[in-house]
Chains A and B, each alone.
Chain A
Amino acid sequence: MVTSDQIILVPLLPFIAFAVNLLAGRWLKHRAAWLSVAASTIACFIAIPVCWAVFQGNHFANQGTWLMLGQTPLKFGYVMDPLSSSLLFMVTIVGTLIQIYAMGYMHGDPRYSRFFAYVSLFMSAMLTLSISDNYLLFFMSWEIMGLCSYLLIGFYFEKDSAAKAGFKAFLTTRVGDVGFLIGFLTLFSAIGTLNFSEMNALMANAHHAGAPLHAGLLSLAALLIFCGTIGKSAQFPLHVWLPDAMEGPTPVSALIHAATMVAAGVFLVARSFSLFMIVPNVLPVVTVIGTITAFMAAFIALTQTDIKRILAYSTISQLGYMVTALGLSGLGAGTFHLITHAFFKALLFMAAGSVIHGTHVQDIREMGGLFKKMPHTATTFIIASLALAGIPPLSGFWSKDEILLSAFASGHKIVFMILLLTAFMTAFYMFRLIFLTFFGQPRNLKVHAHESPAVMTAPLWALAFGSIVIGFPGSPFMHHWFQKFMAHMVHHPEYEPSAFVMACSVAAAVCGISLAGVIYLKKIRWAQKTAETFSFLYRLSLNKCYFDELYSRCIVKPFQSLGRFLFGFDARIVDGAVNGTGHATLFISAVKGWIDKYIVDGLVNFTGTLTHFLNSIVKRLQTGFVQNYLLIVFIGILVFLVWELKII
């Protein structure tokens, strides 16, 4: 029997694996991977029974004091509710599978043990985040995930592009993180707690009471917390880091930049959903951001040629979907898509990794006809793509349908249209990728493809299975069990399933796939022509909407210049003032020295000179002849006598 407190072991085991791999990795060599995988697997086996219990309707929570701030304790703990158990379920399974896959993918890398150390640390942080019961612990693990992301993106740090990508990722997400930090500080000052359950309770009370206290502050808090999501889940306008993050090893892209970490941003909104629900004007912002992101990323993905970048933009787009769903109060829909997306997108990345592993190229223009050479990879890739495109009865269909339904039923027709268009584009670019990669004729004869080893393909099939079935709990076949399960969290509107929406969704997907098939299998010239006809749009898409250039021009350069300017300011003005004071002091002392030498001392010398001058006159009287003196004495006496005796 598993008691609920054992859930603490779930993040702890990967952490131990991290510590051991970091310190003893040099001696462990390839055994490092086994350690990490073992830790993750055991964590998985501990987590799943607990999750299962939660799925049955239980609820676990426990907490202990971490920090005593005088009389106020800062408590850390875990909470196992529908939201965290869903995420935990997904992360442990996907994470373990990806690590098994990574054993094959990373085989022979000189920093093999280091890789698994980082991945274990990441798993530890991600699992902590999943079950944490308060914002502070959430934020701490959130930041450590950011660190792992940084380290793993820059794993091949000898490559300048990888080093730069890691830097960019960390810094961009940190902008959002700081917003998040101030956000929960604001929340803390408004409601006096950082605990999710307490917050939910307070918000529920406020909901019943009508107007929440500190409505302004809470809105601000919600907006700032959403900044964290924008950074971490790569939403517009901070999405630029995620495509560059593909510099990391492919398992990392699958684990961190597709399935788990980027989803944590969405999870954050879901966690704070009671807050978002109660404050006015924030959910529309969330919707708008999500919709823009979904559309823009899909648009950019249309023209990309790097297999991983296409998937990265696809991830951004799908995250946009989730955020939109949450913005439309669809907690169930957003979370559902989060879970299903994790499975099929991880699969897509891993299959793409398998392709890269087998061909050593990443540009889809150099691939082609790989289906025969890599049947397992290709099949699973197609399964995942179908799920992503939203073909029933694969998982993606159910979750995407749920999101479209929220948009449609809540009356946001424009959002619905945009999302539908995005769904069409998604199907198109995914199948463009498939047709160019796996079908047709090999375009580069230097590429000698081979199927990946079983340690890599087995996880692919496991995930493919997951991608097929994971959607059922939210489908009508199971009476939308997942959505009802999520409704335990926070009360939010539920919508009646609509056949129209389903039809639209399927139609969009089928159209996209067919169009891609026509263009890339039969009429490759059409692609060229279309690009020439809409050359502006083509270039916009190809150049990623010029975001990198824009940010470089408007943010990075000005910041660097400001830094340099301030340094100059510091050296010239501030330090100049100090040195100026020094120089002024020296100058004054020079002046004083002059005065002293020529005026004060001059006066003294003048006295001497004057005396000397007078002396030169008076000394003439001193003839040195005794007779002269005597004569004067005599004359003196004579005068005296004459005067005194009045002789004359």
Chain B
Amino acid sequence: MIIPLAHILIFSLLLFATGLYGVLVRRNIIGILISIELMLNAANINLIAFSKSTSLSPETGQIFAIFVLAIAATTAAVGLAIVLALYRVRKTVYTDEVHLLKW
């Protein structure tokens, strides 16, 4: 059974929108990071879906996806490290409480 490309794209769109929503509304930095992961994964789904449905070599999309996964992991690692550092200094992980550079 071949799932039509459109469905997959709609799914990834929803996933991306969820991630975006999370990034935009979450106050907890960890939540924002998770949401970013969701967006990255939505992009991955798109990459794989397009690599299958186009005439290009199917490995191309998958390789891209693995790259994105690796970068996502590093992003998460650096991001969490910053969050930890922040928490140590300010005792908070909420973005609205960290406004030192505001204005």
Indicate yes or no for A touching B, C-beta below 8 A.
Answer: yes
Cα-based distance from A622 to B99 in the complex (angstroms): 11
Q: Is the CB of A627 within 8 A of B95?
A: yes
Q: Is the CB of B23 within 8 A of A627?
A: yes
Given A625-B95, A625-B96, A627-B95, CB of A619 within 8 Å of CB of B23 = no
A554 located at the interface, meaning its Cβ lies under 8 Å from any Cβ of chain B in the complex: no
Identity of the chain B residue whose Cβ is nearest the Cβ of A615 in the assembled complex: B103
Cα-based distance from A385 to B103 in the complex (angstroms): 123
Instruction: Pick from A622, A624, A631: contact of B24, CB below 8 A.
Output: A631
Shortest C-beta distance, A398 to chain B (Å), equals 127
B25 located at the interface, meaning its Cβ lies under 8 Å from any Cβ of chain A in the complex: yes
Instruction: Pick from B23, B96, B99, B102: contact of A630, CB below 8 A.
Output: B23
With a CB–CB cut-off of 8 A, which chain A residues contact B23?
627, 630
Number of A-B contacts (CB under 8 A): 24
With a CB–CB cut-off of 8 A, which chain A residues contact B24?
627, 630-631, 634
| Most chain B CB atoms below 10 A, which of A619, A627, A631, A634 | A627
Q: Is the CB of B20 within 8 A of A634?
A: yes
**Interface extent on A, as a size class?**
10 to 19
Cα-based distance from A630 to B20 in the complex (angstroms): 9
A68 located at the interface, meaning its Cβ lies under 8 Å from any Cβ of chain B in the complex: no
With a CB–CB cut-off of 8 A, which chain A residues contact B20?
634
Instruction: Pick from B26, B95, B96, B102: contact of A622, CB below 8 A.
Output: B102
Identity of the chain A residue whose Cβ is nearest the Cβ of B22 in the assembled complex: A627
Cα-based distance from A631 to B95 in the complex (angstroms): 15
| Most chain B CB atoms below 10 A, which of A623, A626, A631 | A626
B101 located at the interface, meaning its Cβ lies under 8 Å from any Cβ of chain A in the complex: yes
With a CB–CB cut-off of 8 A, which chain B residues contact A622?
102-103
Q: Is the CB of A626 within 8 A of B103?
A: no
Cα-based distance from A630 to B32 in the complex (angstroms): 12
Identity of the chain B residue whose Cβ is nearest the Cβ of A627 in the assembled complex: B24
Shortest C-beta distance, B83 to chain A (Å), equals 13
Instruction: Pick from B25, B26, B32, B101: contact of A624, CB below 8 A.
Output: B101
With a CB–CB cut-off of 8 A, which chain A residues contact B26?
627
With a CB–CB cut-off of 8 A, which chain B residues contact A625?
95-96
With a CB–CB cut-off of 8 A, which chain A residues contact B95?
625-627
| Most chain A CB atoms below 10 A, which of B26, B32, B99, B103 | B103
With a CB–CB cut-off of 8 A, which chain A residues contact B96?
624-625
Shortest C-beta distance, B47 to chain A (Å), equals 19
Cα-based distance from A631 to B24 in the complex (angstroms): 6
- Give per-residue flags for A91-122: 1 if the beta carbon is below 8 A from chain B beta carbons, else 0: 00000000000000000000000000000000
With a CB–CB cut-off of 8 A, which chain B residues contact A623?
102
What are 13 contact pairs spanning A and B, CB under 8 A?
Answer: A619-B103, A622-B102, A624-B96, A624-B99, A624-B103, A626-B32, A627-B23, A627-B25, A627-B95, A630-B23, A630-B24, A631-B24, A634-B20
Q: Which 3 A-B pairs have the closest CB atoms?
A: A624-B102, A624-B99, A627-B24
Report B's interface with A, CB cutoff 8 A.
20, 23-26, 32, 95-96, 99, 101-103
Given contacts A623-B102, A624-B102, 13 further A-B contacts (CB under 8 A): A619-B103, A622-B103, A624-B96, A624-B99, A624-B101, A624-B103, A626-B95, A627-B23, A627-B32, A630-B23, A630-B24, A631-B24, A634-B20
